[in-house]
Structure formats: C-alpha cells, structure tokens
Amino acid sequence: MKPLWRGPLLAITAGMSLGVAVATTAGAPQARWRGPEHIWRSSCGYCHGGAAGAPELRGAGLPPEMILQFARKGAPGMPPLHRSDISDAELRQLAAWITAQPDPRGKR
C-alpha cells in the first residue's frame, strides 16, 4: 500500500530588470490561454492528466462534443467552465486536442 504521507496531502484547505514598480499591461485584458496545451496544463490536466480518482481523458476516444458539454456543465466534483473563462472557440480547440492525444500510459 502506498504510504499516505507520500501521497496527496490535503490542504484546507515579464521580465523586469529595474527595481521599480512597473505597469506590466494596460488596456484590454490579457488573453488568458496560449492554445489548448496551455489550457490543459493550467487547468484540466491537474485532475484528468493521471491523478487518482479522475478519468484520464487523453487517448480515451471521447468525442469532442462530449468534452465540450462536460466542460460547460461541470460534473460532480468538477466545476463548470464558463465562456468568461474559456471561449467557445478555445474550448472547441481544446476538445479536439484532447481527442487527438494518445494515451500517455501507452494503452490503445
């Protein structure tokens, strides 16, 4: 059995070279995402990228439309993703990317 203390412990729970305060951005909001891999690494992949208890989505052969629906609606234990978080276009790209990925465990 895996020792608990080596497993997940629960918690309840720009380049600046000058040492001055610098306004880093102005005007329009930043584009939050830099492509589907960035979204995966920053959000979905924390749970669906091999963590115990959440299904591995890559290589699972899920239709992109199903991924899109789960993302927008959420699921037990998974918060929904709103349009203000990820646009329809970004979500479609993400779903297509996930579907196209091989199973990282090498399963077919």
Partner 1 sequence: MPGLNLPPNLSPRAFDRFLKACAAVVGAEWVVTADDEIEAYGRITIPFDDGAHMPSAAICPQSLEEVQAVVAAAYQESVPLWPTSTGRNIGYGSSAVADRGTVVLDMRRMNRILDFDPELGTVVVEPGVTYQQLQDFIQRSGHDFWLDFPGPGPIVSPIGNTLERGHGVTPYGDHFAHSCGYEVLLADGTLFRTGMGGIQDTRSWQAYRYGYGPTLDGIFTQSNFGIVTKMGVWLMPAPAAHKTILAHWRDDGDIVRLTDAVRGLRLDGTIPNEGVMGNATIFLAATRKRADLYPDASKAFPKDLAIAESRKAGLGAWNYVFSLYGRPDRVESDWQEAKKRLEDSGASLIPDARDEQQVNELTLKSFALFNWIGGGGLAWCAPVSPMRGPDMQRQLEISRAVMDSHGVDFMVGTAFGTRSALNVMPLLYDRSDAARTASVRACYGELIERLGAAGFGMYRTSIGYMDQVAKTFGTAGIEVNRRIKRALDPKGIIAPGKSGIRL
Tell me, residue by residue from 11 to 50, as one string, x for binding to partner 1 by CB under 8 A and - for no binding.
xxxxxx--xxxxxxxx-xxx-x---------xx--xx---
Q: CA-CA distances (angstroms) from residue 20 to 16, 23, 25, 27?
A: 9, 10, 15, 21
Q: Does 100 bind partner 1 (CB under 8 A)?
A: no
CB-based contacts of 62: which residues, under 8 Å, 6+ apart?
98, 99
75 SS3 class: strand
**Rounded to the nearest whole angstrom, what is the least distance from the CB of residue 103 to partner 1 in the complex?**
21
**Rounded to the nearest whole angstrom, what is the least distance from the CB of residue 69 to partner 1 in the complex?**
10
95, two tokens: 């779903």
Q: What single letter denotes the amino acid at residue 75?
A: A
Tell me, residue by residue from 49 to 88, as one string, x for binding to partner 1 by CB under 8 A and - for no binding.
--xxxx-----------------xxxxxxxxx-xxxx---
Residue 65: phi and psi, rounded to 5, are: -65, -35
Residues of the shown chain interacting with partner 1 in the complex, contacts defined by CB under 8 A = 1-16, 19-26, 28-30, 32, 42-43, 46-47, 51-54, 72-80, 82-85
